[in-house]
Amino acid sequence: MKNQDSPKRSGFPKILSALKGKPALEDFPLLPLRELVLFPHTMIPIFITYKAGIAAVEEALKRDQRLFAACLKEGGEAVPVKTGVSAAASGQAVPAHAAGSVVRIVQHLRLPDNSFRVMLQGEYRGKIASFKSENSPMVRVEPIGSSGSADMEGAEINALIRAVQKSFTQYAEYSKKVSTETLSAVERTESSERMCNLICNAIVVKAERKIELLGIEDAAARLEAVLETLEMENEIFGIQKNISGKVKSRMDRTQREYILHEQLKEINKELGKDTGEDEFTELEHAVEVKHPPEEVLLKARKEIGRLRKLQPLSPEAGVLRGYLEWITDLPWSECSVDSGDLGEAERILNEDHFDMQKAKERILEFIAVLRLSSLEDAGSRIKGPILCFVGPPGTGKTSLGKSVARALGRRFVRVSLGGVRDEAEIRGHRKTYVGALPGKIIQSMRKAETLNPVFLLDEIDKLSSDFRGDPASALLEVLDPEQNALFTDHYLEVAYDLSKVLFITTANSLHTIPYPLLDRMEIIEIPGYGENEKAVIARQFLVPKELRENGLGTAKISFKDDALRDIIRHWTMESGVRSLEREIARCVRRIARYAVNKEYGKDPAKPISSFKKNVRREDLEKLLGRRKYKNDVVFKEARIGVSYGLAWTETGGTMLPVETISFKGNGDLIITGNLGEVVKESARIALSYLRSARNRYRFLIQDTGKTDFHVHVPEGAIPKDGPSAGITLAASLLSTLCGAAPRPGTAMTGELTLTGRILPIGGLKEKILAAIRNGMERVLLPEDNREDWAELDKEVKTSIKVDFVENADDAFKLLFDGGIRRTPEPAGVKGKAGSRKTAGTAKSPA
């Protein structure tokens, strides 16, 4: 063979001398291998079934039976590379890695399918320098490193060799897959080249890593790389051994406990002491002492019998044990003794809450019935009522439930239903499911520990449903006094008596509660508070509470009445007192900080009880910052086309101003202000009624068919709906048609029909409070709401004048001067405007 290329690297003559006269570059057939790396000084048999490999073997057999074996790159095909120049020169990707080994065919056998079985022996390492010619399997190979019998590089190499030998010995102990011949050969050799080849062939690592180790030229660098690989593999083996040891230890411990437990059972049987039977007997006794119904007792005994037959550590035994624990924990016959002292109960209710007369009277009635029933020895037949407290947020519905429990002397449990959308939250899961539990009803009964607690279902109007079921439908059985004596939870699978429970539900609105559920409850409205009521609540309840909670309970701090009313008017806008409580707490915290800065409570000479502070109206902006709220959009002067309605929301009452303008057009009615369909229908009804009554009024607009009307309700970002704005819309349209402004300071509410009748409305108290808050002097109400007006507090009724009207004509007489009427009122026809309820003047907030 001729040497066609001369080496350019310095140091290469040393490699040539070590090769004992071999030429620097030689041509060999390329044998591409997939996921297999061959090393020198090793021998391996392989099957060659692909065309490129068969062609390379045939070519080698024609020559000197030597090949260049190189591993294919990932995704490379085992076919000859079609190029006659080097990969770098051709710009094409070579499918085989450059580094490989020159191998000799020691044995070969041609099989009937034209494939080969060959025995290959590695001779020395090399790398592809170039490809010989087009359509040829020949490559030109440049040797790598040294193939001499020993390396004479000095002490550093010797130290690395010893380290590698030690690490490989440890690897062989961990792996158990290294032959004794290979281990002995590694320990005896003094050549770093031979040692690295033997080790790299023996270790189990990825082909990419072996190729890297095959291609390193420097002996020291190659030893370091081999050492690093061995250390990494040894560390992985150590971690695996540690993990396996822990797992085996746990398994051995579990097995040991099981064997000891079985042995202990046999020993106890021999001694006549069966602890298993004692355990099951105790469990059965625990169920019996609860005095459950016969059905429950039979079910418990059946499950205990099944538990006896199971292994203690089996999963089903754990499920049955948990089930029986629930049976033993639930109250089946325990009842708390009800308080029969009406005076004490009334004192507790008045002590905790202001007003709420309807709710308090209903609770006192229930206590009276309980007392009479106990005298007749029929107390066990009394079923708990299902009460529903409905009112705006912050009016004390939830806390009233706690007071009811305290007044009755019963346990109190609460379940929040807000956002509950799964029926299993109420009825529970069947115990066959992993992690199954009873529903919230049974869980709360276990917590109550009695059969007759006060059970509060909070936010029942916030229930929702999805594919998992409808919890509102599941509550139908719970809240039906005729059915809840046999309430069945999916987990318990036996009936549970809820008939003695006093259920109280709370809601902000009844619109979202399904009618079948609403029909099972006794509705008690908790209306919003007026300004005077809020001031009393703040003075009697909120201020003392915040002073105690903020460390100023013994200090002499007082809030003036004008300060409390200013907080109510300008820092809160609600029907309840939750925001009021927060603002008072802010004031108290600022005062506490001031007291600490003045050294109160630190110096014994200045105890906190000596601190004094009177909170006046002038101090509020310093304590609370600028005012947050102003009155609603209300004009003090009379304006044509502007009237004022009253609306009810979940947060209380509010003013609903209506504005109307007219312009030439086609008789269209434009309605804006983020209004719902019901309000739009009310506007069309109002316009139709006025067109039908045009003969009774002096319209400045003669041809309404060629005039467009635009009705707008301000604050367009707030959705508005409901029929009670009918009379307000009619008054605004009539004012525009006649060019006359309604009487200023007058608000109104009522549903208008096509014939002019005014129908009753709801939320009367909240609407009246909104009118008072915004300085209205007079309110027009439907005649059918007269009884509702009579039930309001005296303070509310004396704060504003009220007129009751039956039809639109009566309302228009009070709103407009007589000049808008076309003809005088016929004799004998008299409106109901004279039946008005007047009391005091309205108090306009500052």
Q: What residues act catalytically? A: 724, 767
HSE value, Cβ hemisphere, 13 Å, CA-based, for 740? 18
Structure tokens at 311: 């292994």
Q: Which residues contact 426 (CB under 8 A, 6 or more apart)?
A: 420, 439, 440, 441, 471, 474, 475, 478
Quick one: three-class SS letters along 196-255? HHHHHHHCCCCHHHHHHHHHCCCHHHHHHHHHHHHHHHHHHHHHHHHHHHHHHHHHHHHH
Are the C-beta atoms of residues 72 and 33 closer than 8 Å to each other? yes
Structure tokens at 298: 């039979």
Helix (H) or strand (E) holding 108: strand 96-110
The SS3 call for residue 693 is coil
| Angle, in degrees to the nearest 10, between helices 155-175 and 180-188 | 170
Are the C-beta atoms of residues 772 and 530 closer than 8 Å to each other? yes
What is the rounded distance in angstroms from the CA atom of residue 724 to the CA atom of residue 645?
8
CA distance between the termini of the chain? 114
What is the rounded distance in angstroms from the CA atom of residue 356 to the CA atom of residue 352?
11
Residue 377, by phi and psi: left (phi above 0), alpha (psi -120 to 50) or beta?
left
* Sheet of 707-712, strands arranged across: 669-672, 707-712, 652-664, 642-649, 746-748, 778-782, 801-805, 836-837
HSE value, Cβ hemisphere, 13 Å, CA-based, for 472? 20
What is the rounded distance in angstroms from the CA atom of residue 222 to the CA atom of residue 236?
21
The SS3 call for residue 780 is strand
What is the rounded distance in angstroms from the CA atom of residue 172 to the CA atom of residue 178?
5
Helix (H) or strand (E) holding 645: strand 642-649
- Residue 74, Cβ neighbours under 10 Å: how many? 11
What is the rounded distance in angstroms from the CA atom of residue 33 to the CA atom of residue 43?
15
The SS3 call for residue 643 is strand
The burial of 43, by beta-carbon neighbours within 10 Å (0-12 exposed, 13-18 middle, 19 or more buried), is given as middle
Are the C-beta atoms of residues 642 and 657 closer than 8 Å to each other? yes
Phi, psi of 48 (to 5 degrees): -120, 115
What is the rounded distance in angstroms from the CA atom of residue 322 to the CA atom of residue 316?
10
Q: Which residues contact 511 (CB under 8 A, 6 or more apart)?
A: 461
Cα 690 to the chain's mean position, in Å?
53
Which runs of E-coded beta strand occur in 680-740?
707-712
What is the rounded distance in angstroms from the CA atom of residue 29 to the CA atom of residue 133?
11
- Residue 578, Cβ neighbours under 10 Å: how many? 14
Residues listed for the chain: 846
Distances in Å between the Cα of 376 and the Cα atoms of 277, 333, 380, 384, 452 are 46, 21, 11, 18, 19
Residue 105, by phi and psi: left (phi above 0), alpha (psi -120 to 50) or beta?
beta
